[in-house]
Every structure is written in C-alpha cells, then in structure tokens.
Amino acid sequence: MSIAEDDFNMNADSTHDQYLLFLAGGELYAMEALKAQQIVEYISVTKVPKMQSFMKGVTNIRGNIVAVIDLIDRFKLSKTEISDKTSIVVINYKKNDEITQIGIMIDEVYEVDTIKKSNIKKAPEFGAKIDSKYILHMGKYENKYIPILNMEAILDVDELSTLLSK
C-alpha cells in the first residue's frame, strides 16, 4: 500500500481542514493531512546502535534513507505491535531550509477526512495521556474529541538529537 500526496485529493484551500486520522496504541489521533508526504506499509527497519527505544532505526523508502520513530514509544505509552495494518507515515521535517524525511510508525490508517474549523478547540494543558507539547489542538470527530498532533514538536530534530546522544 502506498498513498501519495495526490491520493488525498486536497488543494490549498483545505490546508487546515483535511486531516489524516490514524490509530496508534489503540487510540485515534489526527494530523494535518498535508504534513504526510506518503504512507507505506511497514517494511523492515535496520536498527542503529545506541539509539533511544522510540528510534526504531532506518529504512529505505523509494530510494531515500528514512529514520523511523515508534510514535507510541515516543509518547512513552508502549511500543507499536507490528501487524499487517502497521504503516509508516513519511513526513518532511523542515528546519533552517533543510528537509529531513522522518517516518512514524502507526497501527493503521483510519481515513483522511475534514474536521470543521468550528470543531477544533485549544488543547488542554493537562489530562491527556501524552505530553501536552505533542498536542496542537483537539478536534471533534464523530462526536468525540481526538488529539490533533503537533508534528513539529514530535519530530523536533534538535530534541531528538539531544535524546540520541544520551
């Protein structure tokens, strides 16, 4: 399975309306759909020595070496159980005009859908299972509020580098 950016059927007018909804650790999360460059079925990851547990290693995706992070392990909740629905969402992380591709492991893609702006609320500072710095907003989807993730905080290359050097 591979879902390219074009498959999301998005345009510039819907940048903040379209969300990739996915399951991770059995919970439903969302991220801005345009952040996802591609989604691929889970493929084997080559472990790299002396890395934090959430850094699963690197893999080759369409000729690019991509670092892979276990999202649930990054949240310090558990580890992703690999199944036939496990996927890697590839995200281009940009810092100082330099782009790094980073993949996040998820349980499975739920769908790409719209969340109305009126249904997006500020994230609470407390009460969530994950650190509030990883939550951008809360979005009401199918009568339930779900975290819309802050991918910049989750994939912060400087923080990851600091964690990796410990």
Q: What is the CATH number of the domain that holds 131?
A: 2.40.50.180
pLDDT tens per residue, range 27-69: 999 999 999 999 999 999 999 888 888 999 999 999 999 999 9
Q: What is the pTM of this model?
A: 0.82
C-alpha–C-alpha distance, residues 22 and 29, integer Å: 6
Is 131 in contact with 143 (CB distance < 8 Å)? Answer: no
> CA 33, 37, 39 angle in degrees (round to 5)?
85
pLDDT tens per residue, range 141-164: 999 999 999 999 999 867 666 544
Which one has a higher pLDDT value, 111 or 4?
A: 111
pLDDT tens per residue, range 72-88: 999 999 999 999 999 99
Check whether 165 has a pLDDT greater than 50.
Answer: no
Q: Identify the pLDDT of residue 17.
A: 82
pLDDT tens per residue, range 8-35: 343 444 445 899 999 999 999 999 999 9
Q: How confident is the model at residue 125 (pLDDT cuts 50, 70, 90)?
A: confident
Is 154 in contact with 73 (CB distance < 8 Å)? Answer: no
Give the number of domains in the chain. Answer: 1
C-alpha–C-alpha distance, residues 159 and 148, integer Å: 20
C-alpha–C-alpha distance, residues 156 and 159, integer Å: 5
Give residue 64's domain range: 2-164
Instruction: Provide the token pair at 115.
Output: 């969340």
Helix, strand, or coil here: 57? strand
